C-alpha cells in the first residue's frame, strides 16, 4: 500500500483502518475508484464510511478540476519534459485561464500536508545530494533559516525563493526530478516539513496536476518572464538585454552566481539599469550575495553611474600627492606626520595628511545634537587606523556607538592596519563585509567608487575630505553631487599655487 493512502486515511481521521487496507492489498487505483460495496467490507461503520466517501469525492473533484484546466495535458512523470510542457501550456492560456489555474492550484495546495514518499527509482537514479545547508549558508536570509526549528509561512517562501533562483541560474527549464530532489533535501534538513508541501508531481493514473510551493514559485517567476517578453513584442520596442526576458534571466542568475563564473562581469553590466539600488546596502548585498565575496570589489557600477574613468584616481593622485605633502609641511597642521616624510611613500602620506588641511565644519546629524568634528576625528573617519587586526572589532563597536549617539549609521569605510611607518593591510568595510586592498591608494579609490555604486552617503565626520577628492581629483562636479565647502575651495587653491610655483 502506498504512503498516499496512509496519509489520506490519517488526514480524514480514519487511521484505524490503515492495517485493514494493507491486509487487503489496496493500491491507489482501487483506493480512489473501488465501488461502495467494496468499501463497506473495509469500513463497516456507517459514519466512518460516509466520511471516507465524502472526502474521497472532494479529493477526486480537485484532481479532475485541475486536469480539465490543464486541457488534459497530463503526462507520466517519467517523461523528462512533462513538467515544462505543462508550464508552457498553462502560461500561454488567456488571462481567464490563468486565473482558473491559480484558483485550482490554491485549492490543491490544501492537500500539502499529504506526504508523498519518493519512489525507489528516484532514490537510486535521480536523487543527487544538493547540500541545501551549503546553499543556505551563502546568504543572510539562508543563515537565518538554518537557525529555525520550525518554519513559518514566510520562512517557506524565502526557502523556495533561494532554491528556485539557484536552479534558474543554470537553466530556465527545471526537470521534475530536480523539484523532487530539492523537496527531499528540505525535509532532510527541516524535520517538521513534508515533501508534499513543496512538490507533488503530476500523475496520469490519479489525474493529478503538479503543485507545491517550489512549483508555485517557479510558475510565478516563469510567468513574469513570459509576460515581460509579450509586453516587449506588443510595444514594438527594440529587444536588448536591458528590456527583454534575457535581462530577467540575467538578474535571476546573478542572485545565485558563483565567483568562478566567467560571465559575472558581463551579466553585471547588462543588468545595470534593472538592478534596484534604491534599497538599503544590506538588502542589496542580500539580494546579490556575490557582492559578499572577494570578486564583489570588482562589481562596482562607478563608471556606468558617473561616466568617470575608473583609472582617474590612480593616474592623478601621484601627481598631486607631493603638493599635498608640501602644503602640510608649510602650514604645520600635522607635525607628527611631517616628521616621517622620508620614511613613508608620498602617495600614502599625503592621504594621511589631507584631513588636517581641511577646516572642519558642523555636520548634519540624525537628531538635534550639534557636532563639529575635530581634525583628528575627521582623519580617523577618513582612514580608520588600527595597530593590529585584533583591535578592529572593538574600535568599530566604539565608532558605531558614537555615531548612534548622533543618530547616524556606519557608512563604507577604509581601514589601515599597522603603524604609520609600517602599514601592512588595507580594507574597505561595508557592514560585515571586508574587501582587501593592496595599498592605501587602492582602498581609498575602491571606497570612493562604492559610495557612488551603492548610492551611499559619505561618513558625516569625513564628508569634507571625500568631497575634496570628488571635486578635484575625480572631477565629478554635476549638481546632483554638489556641496558647498569653503575649506575645500581654499585648500585646492593653495595646492594650485604650489603647483604653479614648482
Looking up residue 17, the CATH number of its domain turns out to be: 1.10.150
Task: Determine, yes or no, domain membership for 304.
Answer: no
- Round the average pLDDT of the chain to a whole number and report it: 80
With respect to residue 271, please indicate whether it lies within any of the assigned structural domains: yes
Mean pLDDT along residues 261-272 = 84
Lowest mean pLDDT among 97-106, 253-262, 360-369: 97-106
Q: CA separation (Å) from 132 to 135, 137, 181, 295?
A: 5, 9, 10, 23
Better-predicted residue by pLDDT, 122 or 312? 312
The model's confidence at residue 245, banded by pLDDT at 50, 70 and 90, is low
Q: Find cell 616621517 and name the residue.
A: 340
pLDDT score at 448: 96
CB-based contact 145:155 (threshold 8 Å):
yes
Q: What is the mean pLDDT of residues 267-294?
A: 81
Say if residue 401's pLDDT is above 70.
Answer: yes
459-478 average pLDDT score = 94
Q: Kindly state whether residues 436 and 391 are assigned to the same domain.
A: yes
Q: Are residues 466 and 379 in the same domain?
A: yes
Domain check: are 261 and 316 in the same one?
no
Would the pLDDT of 69 be above 50? Answer: no
What is the DSSP pairing of strand 433-437 with strand 422-430? antiparallel
Among 188, 219, 234, the domain boundary falls at 234
pLDDT winner (highest mean) among 48-62, 72-86, 371-385, 447-461: 371-385
**Angle of the 312-331 helix axis to the 440-453 helix axis, nearest 10:** 120
The confidence score (pLDDT) of residue 159 equals: 93
Query: Would residue 84 count as lying in a domain?
Result: no
Is pLDDT at 462 greater than 70 in this prediction? yes
Q: What is the pLDDT of residue 276?
A: 64
Is residue 356 pLDDT above 90, yes or no?
yes
pLDDT of residue 32: 82
Q: How would residue 204 be classed by pLDDT, with cut points 50, 70 and 90?
A: low
321 is a domain residue: yes
Q: 392-416: string of b/e by CB count within 10 Å (b at 16+)?
A: beeebeebeeebeebebeebbbbbb
218 and 357, same structural domain? no
Average pLDDT over residues 380-404: 95
Residue range 441-449: mean pLDDT, rounded: 96
Residues 359, 496 within the same domain: yes
- 343 domain-assigned: yes
Q: Which domain holds residue 378?
A: 311-501
Selected residue with higher pLDDT from 141 and 430: 430
Q: Looking at residue 224, what is its pLDDT? A: 65
Strands of the sheet containing 422-430, edge to edge, are 383-386, 413-419, 422-430, 433-437
Taking 3-state DSSP, the helix, strand and coil percentages for the chain, each rounded to the nearest 5, stand at: 60, 5, 35
Angle at 454 between CA 453 and CA 458, to 5 degrees: 100
Do 51 and 13 touch, CB atoms closer than 8 A? yes
Task: Name the domain count of the chain.
Answer: 4
Give the alpha-carbon dihedral of 156, 218, 127, 289, to 10 degrees: -70
Q: How much is the pLDDT for 397?
A: 95
With respect to residue 122, please indicate whether it lies within any of the assigned structural domains.
no
Q: Which residues does 412 contact at the CB level (< 8 Å), separation at least 6?
A: 281, 428, 429, 430, 447, 450, 451, 454, 456
Predicted local distance difference test score (pLDDT) of residue 198: 93
CA distance 170 to 81: 16
One domain, residues 16 and 150: no
Mean pLDDT of 267-280: 77
Distance separating alpha carbons of residues 13 and 15, to the nearest angstrom: 6
Q: What value does the CA radius of gyration of the chain take, rounded to a whole number of Å?
A: 32
Q: Is the pLDDT of residue 241 over 60?
A: no
Q: With respect to residue 418, please indicate whether it lies within any of the assigned structural domains.
A: yes
Q: Is the pLDDT of residue 83 over 50?
A: no
pLDDT above 90: residue 92: no
Between 476 and 67, residue with greater pLDDT: 476
Among residues 47, 63, 79, which one ends one of the domains? Answer: 63
Q: Does one domain contain both 373 and 224?
A: no
Beta bridge partners of 426: 416, 437
More confident residue, 32 or 441: 441
CB 145, CB 136: distance < 8 Å: yes
DSSP state of 71: T
On whether both 404 and 462 belong to a single domain, the answer is yes
Q: Identify whether residues 360 and 458 lie together within a single domain.
A: yes
The average pLDDT across 259-275 equals: 82
Looking at 11, 32, 63, the residue that finishes a domain is 63
The three grid cell numbers given for residue 463, joined into one nine-digit string:
564628508
Look at residue 362 and tell me if it is in a domain.
Answer: yes
Rounded Cα distance between 126 and 77, Å, is 12
Whether 396 and 437 share a structural domain: yes
Confidence band, pLDDT 50/70/90 cuts, at residue 334: very high
In terms of domains, do 291 and 369 share one?
A: no
Supply the DSSP symbol for 457: P
The whole-number pLDDT of residue 492 equals 96
Confidence of residue 378 (pLDDT cuts 50, 70, 90): very high
**Range scoring the smallest mean pLDDT among 221-225, 299-303, 486-490:** 221-225
Helices (H) and strands (E) in the chain, counts: 26, 4
**Do 426 and 462 have their domain in common?**
yes
Q: Three-state SS for 435?
A: strand
Amino acid at each position: 500500500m502506498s504512503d498516499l493512502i496512509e496519509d489520506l486515511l490519517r488526514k480524514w481521521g480514519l487511521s484505524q483502518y490503515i492495517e485493514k487496507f494493507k491486509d487487503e492489498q489496496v493500491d491507489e487505483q482501487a483506493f480512489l475508484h473501488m465501488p461502495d460495496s467494496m468499501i463497506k467490507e473495509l469500513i463497516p461503520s456507517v459514519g466512518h464510511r460516509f466520511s471516507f466517501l465524502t472526502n474521497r469525492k472532494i479529493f477526486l473533484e480537485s484532481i479532475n478540476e485541475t486536469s480539465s484546466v490543464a486541457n488534459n495535458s497530463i503526462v507520466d512523470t517519467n517523461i523528462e519534459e512533462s513538467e515544462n510542457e505543462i508550464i508552457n501550456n498553462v502560461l500561454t492560456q488567456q488571462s481567464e485561464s490563468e486565473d482558473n489555474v491559480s484558483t485550482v492550484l490554491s485549492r490543491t495546495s490544501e492537500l500539502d500536508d499529504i506526504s508523498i514518499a519518493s519512489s525507489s527509482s528516484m532514490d537510486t537514479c535521480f536523487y543527487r545530494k544538493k547540500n541545501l545547508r551549503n546553499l543556505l549558508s551563502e546568504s543572510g536570509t539562508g543563515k537565518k533559516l538554518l537557525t529555525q526549528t520550525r518554519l513559518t509561512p514566510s520562512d517557506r517562501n524565502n526557502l523556495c525563493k533561494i532554491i528556485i533562483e539557484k536552479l534558474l541560474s543554470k537553466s530556465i527549464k527545471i526537470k521534475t526530478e530536480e523539484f523532487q530532489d530539492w523537496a527531499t533535501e528540505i525535509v532532510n534538513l527541516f524535520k517538521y516539513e513534508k515533501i508534499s508541501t513543496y512538490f507533488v508531481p503530476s500523475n496520469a493514473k490519479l489525474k493529478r496536476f503538479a503543485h507545491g510551493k517550489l512549483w508555485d514559485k517557479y510558475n510565478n517567476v516563469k510567468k513574469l518572464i513570459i509576460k515581460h517578453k509579450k509586453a516587449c513584442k506588443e510595444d514594438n520596442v527594440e529587444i536588448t538585454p536591458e528590456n527583454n526576458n534575457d535581462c530577467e534571466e540575467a538578474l535571476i542568475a546573478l542572485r545565485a552566481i558563483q565567483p568562478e563564473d566567467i560571465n559575472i562581469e558581463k551579466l553585471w553590466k547588462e543588468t545595470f539599469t534593472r538592478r534596484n539600488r534604491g534599497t538599503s546596502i544590506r538588502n542589496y548585498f542580500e539580494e546579490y550575495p556575490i557582492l559578499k565575496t572577494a570578486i564583489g570589489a570588482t562589481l562596482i557600477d562607478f563608471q556606468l553611474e558617473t561616466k568617470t574613468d575608473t583609472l582617474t584616481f590612480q593616474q592623478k593622485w601621484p601627481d598631486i600627492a607631493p603638493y599635498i605633502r608640501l602644503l602640510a609641511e608649510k602650514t604645520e597642521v600635522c607635525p607628527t606626520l611631517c616628521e616621517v616624510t622620508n620614511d613613508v611613500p608620498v602617495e600614502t602620506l599625503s592621504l594621511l595628511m589631507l584631513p588636517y588641511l581641511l577646516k572642519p565644519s558642523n555636520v548634519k546629524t540624525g537628531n538635534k545634537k550639534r557636532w563639529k568634528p575635530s581634525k583628528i576625528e575627521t582623519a580617523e573617519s577618513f582612514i580608520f587606523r588600527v595597530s593590529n587586526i585584533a583591535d578592529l572589532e572593538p574600535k568599530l563597536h566604539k565608532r558605531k556607538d558614537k555615531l548612534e549617539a548622533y543618530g547616524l549609521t556606519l557608512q563604507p569605510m577604509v581601514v589601515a592596519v599597522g603603524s604609520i611607518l609600517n602599514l601592512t593591510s588595507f580594507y574597505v568595510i561595508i557592514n560585515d563585509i571586508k574587501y582587501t586592498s593592496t595599498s592605501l591608494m587602492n582602498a581609498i579609490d575602491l571606497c570612493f567608487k562604492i559610495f557612488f555604486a551603492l548610492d551611499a552617503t559619505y561618513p558625516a565626520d569625513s564628508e569634507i575630505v571625500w568631497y575634496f577628492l570628488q571635486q578635484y581629483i575625480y572631477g565629478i562636479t554635476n549638481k546632483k553631487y554638489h556641496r558647498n565647502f569653503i575649506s575645500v575651495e581654499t585648500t585646492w587653491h593653495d595646492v594650485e599655487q604650489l603647483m604653479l610655483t614648482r
